[in-house]
């Protein structure tokens, strides 16, 4: 698992050998949400809303980095 970014109360993570489509996990003390990288579509809203919003702002500015990490962690043979 790669922690791509961490703030005070939220983290963005990418897991190896994860299911498709390319996505990342936003973890907060209240829960976790999955977000598709290409369109930043939130799949489940278990993460704390304010933290999720901050994570989406960060992700919008770093989408290429997130995709690169996803590709490195999820190589398909």
Mean of pLDDT over the chain: 94
Mean pLDDT of 43-66: 95
In this prediction, residue 77 carries a pLDDT of 52
> Would you place residue 1 in the very low, low, confident or very high pLDDT band (cuts 50, 70, 90)?
confident
14-23, 51-60, 68-77: the lowest-pLDDT one = 68-77
- Contacts by residues 7-14 (CB-CB < 8 Å, ≥ 24 positions apart): 7/51, 7/54, 7/55, 7/58, 9/48, 9/51, 10/47, 10/48, 10/51, 10/52, 10/54, 10/55, 12/55, 12/58, 12/59, 12/66, 14/66, 14/69, 14/70, 14/73, 14/74
> Would you place residue 57 in the very low, low, confident or very high pLDDT band (cuts 50, 70, 90)?
very high
């Amino acid at each position: 698992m790669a922690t791509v970014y961490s703030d005070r109360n939220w983290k963005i993570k990418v897991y190896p050998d994860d299911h498709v489509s390319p996505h990342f996990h936003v973890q907060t003390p209240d829960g976790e949400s999955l977000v598709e990288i290409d369109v930043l579509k939130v799949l489940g809203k278990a993460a704390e809303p304010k933290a999720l919003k901050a994570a989406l702002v960060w992700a919008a500015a770093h989408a290429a980095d997130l995709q690169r990490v996803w590709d490195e962690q999820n190589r398909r043979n």
